[in-house]
Amino acid sequence: MSDPSRPERPVQDEAVRANYRREEVREKRQSGEQNSPQPPNKTTVRTRGGVTEHNVRYVLAFGLAGVIIAFIVIAIYFGGLPNN
């Protein structure tokens, strides 16, 4: 990797590349794809570049709603908004 803003971490980078290679092999096995003479396309994991499980958007939405409700309850408990 030749990104000047990123420090060199050859051990970690190699571990990530090995993980991608294992994922590619697993996806090929699951799809029943045979070795082809042309270079493979990017895998789903490499293309996506992030997590899609764990319903991240729902966790964010419910967490934000919970914080807003908590602030409203605290404001009501301590007498609401100050009067001008």
Residue 21: which of 56, 52, 57, 45 has the closest Cα? 45
Q: Which residues contact 15 (CB under 8 A, 6 or more apart)?
A: none
CA 22 – CA 20 distance, rounded (Å): 5
Answer whether 0.85 is exceeded by the pTM: no
Long-range contacts for 62-69 (Cβ within 8 Å, ≥24 apart)?
none
Q: Which pLDDT tens digit goes with each residue over 20-67?
A: 888 888 887 777 655 556 666 777 767 766 666 777 888 899 999 999
Determine the pLDDT at residue 68: 96
